[in-house]
Amino acid sequence: MTITRTLAEFAHAPVVGACTAREFCELSLFDWAICGVAGWQHSGFQNWAAVQSGPGDQPTFSGQAHDPATAALINGTIAHALDFDDTHFGHIGHPSVAVWSAVHAVAKTQTWSERVDAALVGMEASVRVGLWFGREHYEIGYHQTATAGAFGATLAVARLLGLTLDQTIAAIGLCATMASGLKSQFGTMGKPLNAGLAARTGVEAAMWAKAGLMSCDDGLAGALGFGPTHHGQADTSALRELGSNWRFETINYKFHACCHGLHAMLEALSTLDVAQDFDRLEIETHPRWMSVCNIETPRTGLECKFSYRQTAAMAINGEDTGAISSYTDECAAQFADIRGRIDVTENSDLTEMQATVRVTRGGDVTTARHDLSAAIPASTIKSKLDHKATALVGRSFAEELRAACDAQDIILFETLIATEKRGQ
């Protein structure tokens, strides 16, 4: 059986044994919403959103309603604009911005539970496809949020729209010829655009397949398919226990407003009392992050979010790395002296979720390590997300949104995230 057919069948199968995964999927919906609302307020995408055509009735973070494809594009882009959304380290991708944006853009009559199931299937698929692509796909320069995320969005929408198995296979093939996104955009407004394009691709591929547009039978693994032409490693182990073992359960949430590759370092650094007159600070990280978030001398606020030296210097100087307002162009010009005393080295013995910091001051050396994969109860994550929401969008709105999610109130939820309807 081809990977395309396996994924298509997964999109149609009942969601079973996924209580924990569904709980995290709903946490991700809340996180997606607060990141989108805050993204609209702080990211500078207003002029871009204003020129998007496609009027319709699907609400967006911009406050304007659009057709499904345009709504998915806008919401996916805006929700990732602050780079503050969830991350799955299995394939280094942000599942929610592509998948939840696509689900929200097409869901009309579906219940809350049906939407969550579709999103969970899509996000699980994006993780599995990303694992199937493998390390080389990412390291050669492809942005997994955009590539694997597009396939996840396609399967989520296919489930919501009730595509047949053959139509779903066609949708995957159509996605294969559209999915794209490059890591060269990191640190620019092109990175969140990658997420929006993935969401739009998912919507369009599924809607076009439902309308009768046909495609190749195996757009992922077939001859000249997406995998073979995009440095995919075709790791078949990535599909084991699909539908029974939910890899999405290991999703991680951001509590620092910067690239997730920096978080283990920042958490480790927070356990040490580092005086500004330290002699040297050595940061050890997994080799993968060296090409992702190791900008030595950032020039903009966006580039600060992808810099070990800068974010470490900010933390040492007492800046709040969890605050969006900390990452400014002015900040990029500061802390040069502290940055100059920081070394970043790769250590292949560490996992992608671990970091070690070593501080030398005089004759004293102190060391700390943090592992983001350490399990955190969902209740604790929910509490931390509520705190994050208050910081991002204010206590009143955060409490209203939490109430809507807890009550599974679709109308209230959609009203709240439509900026214009909130009068802001």
For the cut 50, the answer to whether the pLDDT of residue 415 exceeds it is: yes
Q: What is the pLDDT of residues 80-108, one digit of tens each?
A: 998 899 999 888 899 999 999 999 999 99
Q: What is the pLDDT of the chain when averaged over all its residues? A: 94
**Identity at 159, one-letter amino acid code:** R
Which element (helix H / strand E) includes 79?
A: helix 68-80
Q: Are 278 and 360 in contact (CB under 8 A)?
A: yes
Q: Which tokens hold the place of 53?
A: 């055509």
Q: What pLDDT shows up at residue 423?
A: 42
E-only strand ranges, 232-350: 280-285, 342-346
Q: CATH: 3.40.190.10, 3.90.550.10, 3.40.50.1000, 3.30.1330.120. Which one for 260-371?
A: 3.30.1330.120
Q: What is the pLDDT of residues 227-269, one digit of tens each?
A: 999 999 999 899 999 999 999 999 999 999 888 899 999 999 9
Instruction: Report phi then psi at 65, rounded to 5.
Output: -95, 145
Q: Which tokens hold the place of 207?
A: 């809607």
For the cut 50, the answer to whether the pLDDT of residue 379 exceeds it is: yes
User: Average pLDDT for residues 172-196, to the nearest whole number?
Assistant: 95
Q: Are 96 and 28 in contact (CB under 8 A)?
A: yes
Q: What pLDDT shows up at residue 196?
A: 98
CA dihedral 80, 83, 86, 88 (to 10 degrees): 100
Q: What pLDDT shows up at residue 83?
A: 87
Q: What pLDDT shows up at residue 257?
A: 87
Q: What pLDDT shows up at residue 92?
A: 87
Q: Are 58 and 65 in contact (CB under 8 A)?
A: yes
Phi/psi-derived region of residue 32, left when phi > 0, alpha when psi is between -120 and 50, beta in every other case: alpha
Q: Which positions ≥6 away from 393 have C-beta within 8 Å? A: 34, 37, 38, 41, 401
User: Average pLDDT for residues 118-128, to the nearest whole number?
Assistant: 98
285 or 273, greater pLDDT: 285
Q: Which tokens hold the place of 136?
A: 């080389």
Q: What pLDDT shows up at residue 237?
A: 93
For the cut 60, the answer to whether the pLDDT of residue 199 exceeds it is: yes
Closest CA to 68 of 82, 80, 52, 79: 52
3-state secondary structure of 398: helix
Q: Are 355 and 368 in contact (CB under 8 A)?
A: no
- Give the HSE-up count for residue 261: Cα atoms under 13 Å, Cβ half-sphere: 26
Q: How far is it, in rounded angstroms, from Cα 48 to Cα 257?
A: 22
**Residue 93: beta bridge partners?**
88
Q: What is the pLDDT of residues 40-86, one digit of tens each?
A: 998 889 999 999 988 899 999 999 999 999 999 999 999 999 889 99
For the cut 70, the answer to whether the pLDDT of residue 121 exceeds it is: yes
Q: In the chain, what are the domain boundaries?
A: 3-252+378-422, 260-371
User: Average pLDDT for residues 326-331, to the nearest whole number?
Assistant: 94
E-only strand ranges, 257-328: 280-285
The second-level CATH assignment, the architecture, of 3-252+378-422 is Orthogonal Bundle (1.10)
Could you tell me how far CA 92 lies from the centroid of its own chain?
9
Q: What pLDDT shows up at residue 213?
A: 97
Q: How many CB atoms lie within 10 A of CB 1?
A: 7
Q: Are 298 and 342 in contact (CB under 8 A)?
A: no
**Residue 281: beta bridge partners?**
342, 359
User: Average pLDDT for residues 153-181, to the nearest whole number?
Assistant: 98
Q: Are 241 and 248 in contact (CB under 8 A)?
A: no
Q: What is the pTM of this model?
A: 0.87
Q: How far is it, in rounded angstroms, from Cα 286 to Cα 261?
A: 9
Q: Which tokens hold the place of 418?
A: 């439509």
User: Average pLDDT for residues 368-372, to the nearest whole number?
Assistant: 95
Q: What is the pLDDT of residues 18-47, one digit of tens each?
A: 999 999 999 999 999 999 999 999 888 999
For the cut 60, the answer to whether the pLDDT of residue 424 exceeds it is: no
Q: What pLDDT shows up at residue 421?
A: 52
User: Average pLDDT for residues 307-317, to the nearest whole number?
Assistant: 97
Q: What pLDDT shows up at residue 89?
A: 87
Interior angle at CA 325, CA 52 and CA 358, nearest 5: 120
* Number of alpha helices (DSSP H) and beta strands (DSSP E) in the chain: 19, 6
For the cut 50, the answer to whether the pLDDT of residue 280 exceeds it is: yes
If 0-12 CB within 10 Å is exposed, 13-18 middle and 19+ buried, where does residue 258 land? buried
Which element (helix H / strand E) includes 357?
A: strand 354-361
